């Protein structure tokens, strides 16, 4: 299966205008799309606020810029390599059929070279511009996402996103280490918040696009177990996530603001998680399942929780 993922030419490319003959503006946009900028926005949301918390104030803005640029390039390289490997199944799913390699806007070889180049540049930028611990963490996240998640787990197990999500937790450690050149227990606790946040966030989306994953042969949990089992797992992971979020308070020596926000935001999350599980148990399907309510709230939850991490040092 891995050989097929690398060598098969995706459907929809045959007969298309060669990539290098496309308009330059469209080509630039296609290479940007390879980096999945909307996903990286969320990754950076868990990086920069942690720098404020680690600094216990305002970090050096040049350092923030270096971390943001280096982090974007590293995550963008991982995403480009992910699209290179997954181009065969991307062509089968409606939500990914317009990706640059599938449409022929970027050739597979160009995407491969682009992803590797971004990975090298980001590692050097973070290494020489920030510190080598941050560079090593970023490179480790890239390699984990490509080799462990994309090549190893994604097409083989319904637990793919549970362990594959580790790559998406690494920006927390990168943000902390960029300021302190070390990793603390507070950073580890925030890492675990993102770790337990990732499966519910992804599973509710995969409930919405279950048919896509089934058609592509990707064993996401809703495809293998169904909505009730997914709802039960979402509730379990949600309770652990909220509990871990409260552990950040003593470990990070934070003020009253953080636990108050964590309880409030976590309460809204748990309400939505239990409501989704209840609708699934009742046999509700389609639009009335309202699984995207929790998906959209999950983004708001993580963003606000980390914003509070940035604000808390000033309150204290």
3-class secondary structure, 25: helix
Domains annotated on the chain, with CATH: 1-9+22-178 (1.10.357.140), 184-316 (1.20.120)
pLDDT in tens, 231-246: 999 999 999 999 999 9
Confidence of residue 84 (pLDDT cuts 50, 70, 90): very high
pLDDT beyond 90 at 25: no
3-class secondary structure, 75: helix
| pLDDT value for 124 | 98
- Rounded to a whole number, what is the distance in angstroms from the first to the last CA of the chain? 54
| pLDDT value for 19 | 59
| pLDDT value for 36 | 94
CA distance 242 to 250: 15
Helices (H) and strands (E) in the chain, counts: 17, 0
CA distance 99 to 32: 11
CA distance 265 to 46: 16
Pair 312, 249: CB distance under 8 Å: no
C-alpha 275 chain-centroid distance: 25
CA distance 76 to 39: 9
Confidence of residue 9 (pLDDT cuts 50, 70, 90): very low
| pLDDT value for 23 | 79
Q: Kindly state the average pLDDT of the residues 57-80.
A: 97
For 294, how many CA atoms within 13 A lie in the half-sphere containing its CB? 32
Pair 102, 13: CB distance under 8 Å: yes
CA distance 140 to 143: 5
CA distance 171 to 52: 14
Whole-prediction pTM = 0.90
| pLDDT value for 21 | 63
| pLDDT value for 35 | 96
CA distance 216 to 221: 14
CA distance 105 to 22: 7
Contacts 24+ apart (CB under 8 A), 107-111: 107/18, 107/19, 107/20, 108/9, 108/84, 110/19, 111/34, 111/80, 111/81, 111/83, 111/84, 111/87
pLDDT in tens, 274-305: 999 999 999 988 888 999 999 999 999 999 99
- In angstroms, what CA-CA distances link 141 with 62, 113, 188? 23, 19, 15
Q: Kindly state the average pLDDT of the residues 8-22.
A: 49
Closest-CA residue to 31 (of 131, 87, 110): 110
C-alpha 6 chain-centroid distance: 23
pLDDT beyond 50 at 14: no
| pLDDT value for 5 | 35
Percent of the chain past pLDDT 70, that is, above it, reads: 93
pLDDT in tens, 168-209: 999 999 999 999 999 999 999 999 999 999 999 999 999 999
């Amino acid at each position: 299966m891995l050989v097929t993922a690398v060598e098969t030419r995706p459907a929809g490319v045959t007969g298309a205008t060669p990539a290098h003959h496309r308009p330059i503006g469209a080509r630039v946009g296609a290479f940007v799309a390879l980096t999945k900028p909307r996903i990286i926005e969320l990754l950076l949301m868990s990086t920069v606020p942690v720098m404020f918390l680690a600094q216990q104030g305002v970090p050096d803005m040049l350092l923030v810029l270096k971390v943001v640029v280096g982090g974007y390039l590293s995550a963008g390289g991982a995403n480009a390599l992910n699209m290179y490997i997954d181009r065969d199944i991307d062509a089968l799913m409606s939500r990914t059929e317009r990706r640059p390699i599938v449409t022929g806007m970027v050739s597979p070889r160009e995407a491969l070279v682009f992803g590797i180049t971004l990975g090298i540049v980001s590692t050097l930028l973070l290494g020489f511009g920030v510190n080598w611990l941050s560079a090593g963490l970023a490179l480790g996240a890239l390699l984990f996402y490509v080799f462990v998640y994309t090549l190893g787990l994604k097409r083989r197990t319904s637990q793919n996103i549970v362990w594959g999500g580790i790559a998406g937790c690494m920006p927390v450690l990168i943000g902390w280490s960029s300021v302190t050149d070390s990793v603390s227990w507070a950073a580890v606790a925030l890492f675990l918040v993102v770790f337990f946040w990732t499966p519910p966030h992804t599973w509710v989306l995969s409930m919405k696009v279950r048919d896509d994953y089934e058609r592509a042969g990707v064993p996401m949990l809703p495809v293998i177990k169904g909505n009730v089992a997914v709802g039960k797992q979402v509730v379990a992971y949600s309770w652990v996530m909220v509990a871990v979020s409260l552990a950040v308070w003593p470990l990070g020596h934070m003020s009253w603001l953080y636990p108050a926000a964590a309880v409030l935001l976590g309460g809204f999350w748990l309400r939505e998680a239990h409501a989704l599980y209840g609708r699934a148990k009742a046999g509700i399907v389609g639009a009335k399942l309202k699984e995207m309510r929790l998906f959209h709230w999950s983004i708001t939850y993580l963003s606000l929780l980390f914003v509070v991490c940035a604000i808390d040092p000033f309150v204290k």
